[in-house]
């Protein structure tokens, strides 16, 4: 782990394929900016919200201890595919979109995606506008101070 990590890190993970880089990375940037602003209000130090690829995250087990939001569906994001059957649903509209996270706070992982790009945009809009990001960040005072 980077020596600059002082308990203020959050990862936003996108797929490494070209489609994910072109379409999902801008969505990840929206989440990064919203998380950065929300964390800046509650942390004593500058939050460090980092966008990285699924390949890098999956191959670096030391990163798995950091709270993480995965953006993009299983077809373009291997992390979302891996978590698909491992995370509970906070919101699921069958064949439309999914927001997966443990709303009780036992887990520090979250996946946000739709069945196609337009529905992933809708999933991210819902995640941000309906308080799911705020809930996710509030659940982990030990992970994100």
In CATH, what number is assigned to the domain containing residue 90?
Answer: 3.30.379
Query: CA dist 56 to 12, 34, 45, 84, 128, Å?
Result: 12, 23, 26, 18, 25
| Average pLDDT, integer, range 3-27 | 88
Per the structure, how many domains does the chain have? 1
pLDDT band per the 50, 70, 90 thresholds, residue 113: very high
Whole-prediction pTM: 0.92
Strands 89-93 and 97-101: antiparallel
> pLDDT band at residue 99, thresholds of 50, 70 and 90?
very high
- In a domain, residue 96? The reply is yes
Element (H, E) at 126: helix 117-129
What average pLDDT does range 134-138 have in this prediction? 92
The helix or strand, by DSSP H or E, that contains position 122, with its residue range, turns out to be helix 117-129
Residue 143 lies in a domain: no
Full residue range of the structural domain in which residue 79 is found: 9-138
For the record, the structure tokens of 109 come out as 């992982």
Give the pLDDT mean for 103-124: 94
Residue 3 above 70 pLDDT? no
Instruction: Give the tens place of pLDDT for each residue, 30-39.
Output: 999 999 999 9
d(C-alpha 3, C-alpha 97), whole Å: 36
């Amino acid at each position: 782990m980077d020596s600059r990590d002082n308990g203020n890190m959050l990862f936003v993970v996108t797929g490494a394929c070209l489609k994910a880089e072109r379409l999902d990375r801008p969505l990840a940037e929206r989440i990064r900016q919203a998380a950065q602003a929300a964390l800046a209000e509650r942390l004593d130090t500058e939050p460090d919200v980092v966008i990285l690829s699924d390949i890098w995250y999956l191959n670096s087990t030391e990163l798995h201890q950091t709270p993480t939001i995965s953006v993009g569906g299983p077809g373009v994001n291997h992390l979302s595919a891996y978590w698909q059957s491992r995370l509970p649903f906070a919101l699921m509209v069958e064949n439309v979109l999914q927001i997966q996270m443990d709303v009780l706070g036992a887990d520090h992982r979250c996946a946000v995606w739709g069945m196609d790009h337009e529905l992933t945009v809708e999933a991210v809009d819902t995640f941000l506008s309906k308080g799911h990001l705020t809930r996710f960040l509030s659940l982990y005072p030990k992970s994100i101070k």
